[in-house]
Amino acid sequence: MGATVPMLSNRSGKPPKEEDDLCICISHLNVLDFQLDIRACATTDDSVFREDQILRAVHTMRVERIIPTWTVLALQILVDTRRELGTHLSRGLEDLREAWAWLHPTWTACLDTDRTRGIKNIEQVCYKPVKEEIARMSELLDEDFMQGLLDDQMKHQPKDFSNFNRGSYFLFRNHPLLCGLWLQESLVVMHSYGTRMAAGHGPIETAIHLSQAVSLPGLNPAGGSWSDLEYIIKKHGATYMFVGERPDNLCDCFNRMRIAFGVGVSLLSRNKKNEIDYRDIKSDRGIRVSRCLGRHILPISRYVSIGNKTNGTGYKWDVTRAARDPFVMMEGLVNRINSSKDVSRPADPLNENTSEVQRSLTPLQSLEIFKRALKEDDLPLRFDLMNLNWRCLKLLRSIQKVCVKLSPHVYSAFKSDDRYLKALVSHMLGCVLGSEHEQPHRFHETCNLVHGLVTREGNVEYLAAQARLGIVKGAAKIGEDESEDFEVPMTFFSTLFVDRIAGNIAKSESGD
């Protein structure tokens, strides 16, 4: 910690404020790069920092003492971004803080064991990684990680660093690109773990099939639909969620639900009249199923979907190369959209590389599709799957409570265990269709519970996602900054400015 870290100096007189702030910003990145190299920030994951092209440029100039062309381009992009934002330069930090204000309580709540009991390997799937994510984001934003590094360094070089202390969160206020990287990382982590929790024991999938059953003609007096679940169905495709077209009768709802949960089709093909085979529902807890044959909630974000792969059970996820290589991610997103019949339509999650011959694209067309793909991911990444999973779980538990209390002889095998919630719903539909039961099946009470929830909060998560994105009223918009012309080049950038940055940074290795 006592090593000397050079800061950029302004020997040519007082520079314009824009240049001065940018110099200080690069100096802070130089300190950050120096500390990351010696692993002084062991509690903070440096992978996101290392993805910042400006930090990479600083590292290259400091360690290799050269100025490759790409480093000049990276600095120019930062300059252009800052000038484009103008007086809204701190918008990146503001957006990151707004996201953290939503993510922090959601992540903390998901650690509640009452929300996750019964999920296989929940400690590895959720608890540990989410706790680590909370810790590193708290250090970054709540404790001002960068300012802590500067304060520590000023103890060793007070004269050099006193002039470069510009207040809390200076780097994040002046480097919107870095804030964007952390925001993207947080949203991706949120969506990934939300999907894995939802796939754990299937509350959302169960609620989707139950909602379809109770929305059949004659059972839904209100006529409303569960908008949050309809959004999930739309992103996955009805043929994926229902293993075919939407069922239009209770018998089809029952059979499609069982197939979606992993019941072998051969068991359902015995009866060619499409009637219920009562041998399949004699067991108190349902027949044996296979998770590999079942349908699980998949990432509704293309970015997250391409960046991860699963073994088909919904439990095990592995990060792909695309998650850390922007060029591979770009190729994957472009190919996925380009393979669908309509460029604006989400590709089939189970058939992403077929249906259409790949169209030849120019580089500009590929960039345009890539930009469109990222734009279409804005809403899915802000859709809170964790909270939706919790809403569905609470509904199914309330149904379980009613059924066990009012018809204990019918539902005695489904007491207080989340692992059998889907089996309870399947058993209920079987009873409605004619399976022998000593007490009422309680389907009408279930319909009332579902309708009540849909009326109260059927579109809560979708509206919340829109609010976070600024689609609905409440989000500030970036206006045009009239104080300066974006087309006017920064004359200092290509000559004296780069020379001064490179010269000062290179000295960090020589010790001058």
pLDDT digits (tens, 9 = 90+) for 442-492: 999 999 999 999 999 999 999 999 999 887 654 434 334 344 443 434 444
Please say whether the beta carbons of 111 and 193 come within 8 A. Answer: no
Q: Which two tokens stand for residue 489?
A: 């080049």
* Helix orientation angle between 227-236 and 203-214, rounded to the nearest 10 degrees: 110
Q: How far is CA 89 from the centre of its chain?
A: 25
pLDDT band (50, 70, 90) for residue 409: confident
- The pLDDT of residue 486 is 36
- In single-letter form, the type of residue at position 175 comes to H
pLDDT digits (tens, 9 = 90+) for 118-145: 665 565 567 788 888 898 899 888 888 8
* Helix orientation angle between 203-214 and 250-260, rounded to the nearest 10 degrees: 170
What φ, ψ does residue 271 adopt, rounded to 5°?
-100, 100
- In single-letter form, the type of residue at position 308 comes to N
Q: Is 297 helix (H, G, I), strand (E, B) or coil?
A: coil
For residue 2, what is the enclosing H or E element? none
- The pLDDT of residue 67 is 85
Contacts 24+ apart (CB under 8 A), 224-229: 224/451, 224/454, 224/455, 224/458, 225/454, 225/458, 226/450, 226/453, 226/454, 226/458, 227/458, 227/459, 227/462, 228/388, 228/391, 228/458, 228/459, 228/460, 228/461, 228/462, 229/204
Share of the chain above pLDDT 70, in %: 72
Q: What is this structure's pTM?
A: 0.81
Tell me the C-alpha distance between 265 and 258, whole Å: 9
pLDDT digits (tens, 9 = 90+) for 151-203: 887 777 777 666 777 888 999 999 999 999 999 999 999 999 889 888 877 89
